[in-house]
Amino acid sequence: MLEPGERDAVRGDFTESGESGVQALRDVLGLVVRRQAASWKDWRPWVAFVGLIIPLGMLLSIVSWITAGHSATYFWMYANNWDWALLTDRAFWYAFAYCVTVISHSFLLLVCWSWTAGFVLGSTSRRFVQVYGLLFCLMLVFGALLGAPRYFAYFFQYVPHRPQTPDAVGPVDALAFYRQILPFIAQAVLVAVPSLWGMRQGANLGRFPPMLRIVLWTAAISTLGVLVIQEPGFGFFLRPFWRPWMWHAWQVSLLQMLVYWPVVYWTASAVWRRRHGRTASI
- What does the pLDDT read at residue 197? 95
CA distance 15 to 24: 10
- What does the pLDDT read at residue 273? 84
Does position 66 have pLDDT exceeding 50, yes or no?
yes
- What does the pLDDT read at residue 177? 87
pLDDT-derived band at 50, boundaries 50, 70, 90:
confident
Does position 40 have pLDDT exceeding 70, yes or no?
no
pLDDT-derived band at 29, boundaries 50, 70, 90:
low
| Residue of higher predicted confidence among 209 and 28 | 209
pLDDT-derived band at 141, boundaries 50, 70, 90:
very high
- What does the pLDDT read at residue 127? 78
| The model's pTM | 0.78
Does position 32 have pLDDT exceeding 80, yes or no?
no
Does position 190 have pLDDT exceeding 70, yes or no?
yes
Asked if 206 and 126 touch (Cβ cutoff 8 Å), the reply is yes
- What does the pLDDT read at residue 275? 82
% pLDDT > 90, the chain: 33
pLDDT tens track for 82-98: 888 888 888 888 888 99
Asked if 72 and 160 touch (Cβ cutoff 8 Å), the reply is no
Does position 6 have pLDDT exceeding 70, yes or no?
no
Give me the DSSP letters along the chain. Answer: ---HHHHHHHHHHHHHHT--HHHHHHHHHHHHHHHHHHHTTSHHHHHHIIIIIHHHHHHHHHHHHHHHHHHHHHHHHHHSS--GGGGG-HHHHHHHHHHHHHHHHHHHHHHHHHHHHHHHHHHH-STTHHHHHHHHHHHHHHIIIIIHHHHHHHHHHH-TTPPP---SSSTTTTSHIIIIIHHHHHIIIIIIHHHHHHHHHHTTGGGS-HHHHHHHHHHHHHHHHHHHHHSHHHHHHHGGG--GGGGGSHHHHHHHHHTTHHHHHHHHHHHHHHHHHHHHH-
pLDDT-derived band at 194, boundaries 50, 70, 90:
very high
